[in-house]
Amino acid sequence: MANFYRDNNDIQFLFRHVDLATSAEICEEDFAFAGEFDHAPADAAEAIQNYEMVLDSLGELCGEFIAPRSESVDREGNVLNEDGTVTRAKGIAEAIEKLGQAEVMGFTLPHRFGGLNFPNLVYSMAIEILSRADAALMNIFGLQGIAETINAFASEEIKQKYLHDFSAGKVTGAMVLTEPDAGSDLQAVKLRAFQDDDGNWFLHGVKRFITNGCGQVLLVLARSEPDRSGGLGLSLFVCEPGPTVHIRRLEDKLGIHGSPTCEIFFDNTPCEIIGERQRGLVTYVMSLMNGARIGIAGQSMGIAEAAYRIARDYAATRKQFAVAIEKLPAVRKMLIDMKIDIEAGRALLYETSRVVDLELGYARRLETNPPEDKPELKQLKDNARKYKRAAAMLTPMSKYYCSEMCNRVTYDSIQVLGGSGYMRDYACERHARDARITTIYEGTSQLQVVAAVRGVCSGTAEKFMGELAQQDYDAEVKDLLEMLAEGTEKLKEAIAYVKEQGNEYMDLYGRPLVDIAIDLINGYLFCGQASTKVQMEVPVLDNGTANGKSIPMKERKAMLARRYITRNAPKIDAMVELVCAGDKSAFTDYEALVGPVPGE
């Protein structure tokens, strides 16, 4: 039977390699819920066992049920009915029902609402597994951040109203943020929120590009302060579909056809405010979008994994010039690069998810149960600040790297298949279409770089890599660690130069700076994997069939680390040289270089 967890050696390895015990302890608040809720674990071992059972079950559901329907979902799409309702593709509707029955629609919600209370780290694994089966379905499964936002900021009455149904899979949600004139710049949102004489709130206006806008729980960003422009004039509201919520159109998209993208008109729609006025964008939506960005990184991982597997299988079986094309050096290099890039993205995403778990856990303890001991309280505050800074840098890094990597891998997957890859006979063309949106929604790659480069240049990256450098590693990777240390020093030189040039120059060269930092962080993560204590064998394949050999995952990771770090070292040198060259022609010669606007 197909199982998208059991057939992925790297996910299983990382499940054992990363520190899930600490994430479990933080999420379960030192396992304080065991006596109150039947399914709450009593210790880390029980929690980790629960995590793997769910991933195993989800992997089977994805392999056996969801993936076989993904092609028909892509071709069928969604239908806007005359009454303004939306009929989803049959495969999506069936999958949502199955996911609800599997009790995984409240993945990170607390036990008291019927949720699993799992760490973000495990949720990222689940999102990747499901996205490999059907990327469009992830846009519904991955919107559980809406429930998390309600749990974090709404009143108890609103929590009780919605969160039990979220956990049971009875409802799905939508982040209703963007407008025709407010995409990346959400401070420009105009949709109006107003109160009647009795203090009841209503919404009026148009929202566009709303993923799953036909969902039953709509989180809406609206302007509650008509006399105040910018983000401080915005608040967050929740409402439900009804006669005043009109879906006016479904977008005709390049990919993710199973995910309905809606234009919605709110005609004096009754709603409730989430949390406090004026904090809708600055506090609530920023928190929501950070979670969504990690979700898109996970979606990117799943798409890339699916596309790679098609290319790997085809290269092993397709013969040209009397040999399998994987024997050709150019194809062999492409496949190696695809595989290593995927594992680099997975390492970065899972590390980011681990850091986010620590950030949220320490913040929650400070808010709900701060220690009375002053030194302990100080340590808790220090940890909370440290992980908050790290998460703020790693989150956009992960979204940027994984989505860009996903587009490269799906592009190369088509290339490996040649003409066959361009046809709809193989799913790699669908994966390439699905991949394209990942660098755009929830913040474009350019915006992710702008966010991440602040952490790189503020010292957060240096501190984070410094902690990674202090971990225990095997002697076998000592020379690689020296190369990473050299790369870190070169990055510091580039940062010093950029700071002298100002913020505009930093944004201009943000991408190479962020790329260097990612290469170095992933290098340390790979060295850590090569020094693992996990005893796990992985098969060695030849022409697509098992030849009876296997090697320790640790040995394979050492090979991977060496190739990754040694091949990146000259790239880092070149990027540092580029950053420090001082070329400002993008500012001084822009009009001459791009020419006039066409038609003018």
**How confident is residue 270, by pLDDT bands cut at 50, 70 and 90?**
very high
* Maximum C-alpha span of the chain: 81
Query: Phi and psi dihedrals of 56, rounded to 5?
Result: -65, -45
Is the confidence at residue 67, as pLDDT, over 50?
Answer: yes
- What pLDDT is stored for residue 440 in this prediction? 96
Listed range (10-14, 33-37, 42-46, 531-535) with the worst mean pLDDT: 33-37
Domain regions of the chain by residue span: 9-169+282-438, 173-281, 486-592
- What pLDDT is stored for residue 549 in this prediction? 82
Q: Give residues with Cβ within 8 angstroms of 217, minimum separation 6.
A: 146, 147, 150, 162, 166, 171, 172, 173, 174, 238, 240
Q: Give residues with Cβ within 8 angstroms of 278, minimum separation 6.
A: 224, 225, 228, 232, 233, 234, 235
- Range 69-93 average pLDDT: 96
Give the Cα separation of 578 and 555 in Å (integer).
35
**How confident is residue 333, by pLDDT bands cut at 50, 70 and 90?**
very high
The per-residue pLDDT for range 128-147, each reduced to its tens digit, is 999 999 999 999 999 999 99
- Range 242-254 average pLDDT: 96
Give 249-307 as a 3 state SS string.
EECCCCCCCCCCEEEEEEEEEEEEEECCCCCHHHHHHHHHHHHHHHHHHHHHHHHHHHH
For residue 248, the number of C-alpha atoms closer than 13 Å in the C-beta half-sphere is: 11
Give the Cα separation of 322 and 543 in Å (integer).
14
The two tokens of residue 263 are 């234009």
- What pLDDT is stored for residue 480 in this prediction? 98
- What pLDDT is stored for residue 398 in this prediction? 98
The per-residue pLDDT for range 418-428, each reduced to its tens digit, is 999 999 999 99
Give the percent of the chain with pLDDT over 90.
93
Residue 31 DSSP class = T
Output the pTM of the full model. Answer: 0.96
Mean pLDDT for the chain?
95
Give the Cα separation of 266 and 62 in Å (integer).
36
Give the Cα separation of 561 and 495 in Å (integer).
25
Residue 144 DSSP class = G
Nearest Cα to Cα of residue 572 among 529, 508, 522, 527 = 522
Q: Give residues with Cβ within 8 angstroms of 47, minimum separation 6.
A: 20, 21, 24, 27, 28, 31, 41
Task: For the domain covering 173-281, report its CATH number.
Answer: 2.40.110.10
Q: Which residues pair with 222 in a beta bridge?
A: 235
- What pLDDT is stored for residue 543 in this prediction? 45
Options 1.10.540.10, 1.25.40.20, 1.10.150.530, 1.10.730.10; which CATH number does 9-169+282-438 get? 1.10.540.10
The per-residue pLDDT for range 371-422, each reduced to its tens digit, is 999 999 999 999 999 999 999 999 999 999 999 999 999 999 999 999 999 9
- The secondary structure element, H or E, covering residue 464 is helix 460-469
- What pLDDT is stored for residue 546 in this prediction? 47
- What pLDDT is stored for residue 548 in this prediction? 64
